[in-house]
Amino acid sequence: SKQGITVVSGIELSTEYKGRELHLLGYFIDKEQYEKIEKLMEEYHILKEKSNIALTNRLREKGYIIDYEDVKKRNVNGHPNRAHFASELMEKGYISSVEKAFETILSVKNGLYVPPKRINILDAIRFLCEINAVPVLAHPLIDLDENELRELLPKAIKAGLVGIETIHSKYSEDDLKTAEQISKDFNLLQSGGSDFH
């Protein structure tokens, strides 16, 4: 382009590994594959909707009077996540900030929010490979410690993983060095992201 920027199509999937949520990026998706992705996303949305309705009911049982239709309006595509619930709770005066909501009312430990069932990380990597996308593990050192990441990578690479995010807005200087070293140790591509969304 004139600005020297190349835009690539991609997706971020929320996946599961040993009870943890890991984010997986898929880059360079061909238009011919969009239908397969839409089908997968439909399954995700059904599970997410069930989780959201259950969260709404649990919140109401605890005295947080919110309307799920209002929460849905906070997301342009009508598929809200916890951040949208947090915004609604904040607007109703139940909590002082979105961050505070995640730390208290909406934390998994609190028991009101039960995460939806997610696709296994290895299955998700295989899926991305099947549609000729480039699978990259997002911000791994935010979700895993170094040993856990080194334990996962041989299986992930066997499934088709080709890269990890080595640069991220929440990484410390040590994280940056560790991620770069791990990418070299496992011969993985390096990517970066801000997660500013």
Confidence (pLDDT) at 63: 95
- pLDDT above 90 for 138: yes
Query: Does the structure show a pLDDT above 70 at 1?
Result: no
Confidence of residue 67 (pLDDT cuts 50, 70, 90): very high
What is the chain's Cα-based Rg?
18
Instruction: Tell me the pTM.
Output: 0.77
**Between vectors from CA 17 to CA 133 and to CA 174, what angle results, nearest 5°?**
85
**Averaged pLDDT for residues 99-111:** 92
Q: Residue 96: pLDDT above 90?
A: yes
Query: What burial letters (b/e) apply to 10-44, b meaning 16+ CB within 10 Å?
Result: ebebbbbbeeeebbbbbbebeeebeeebeebeeeb
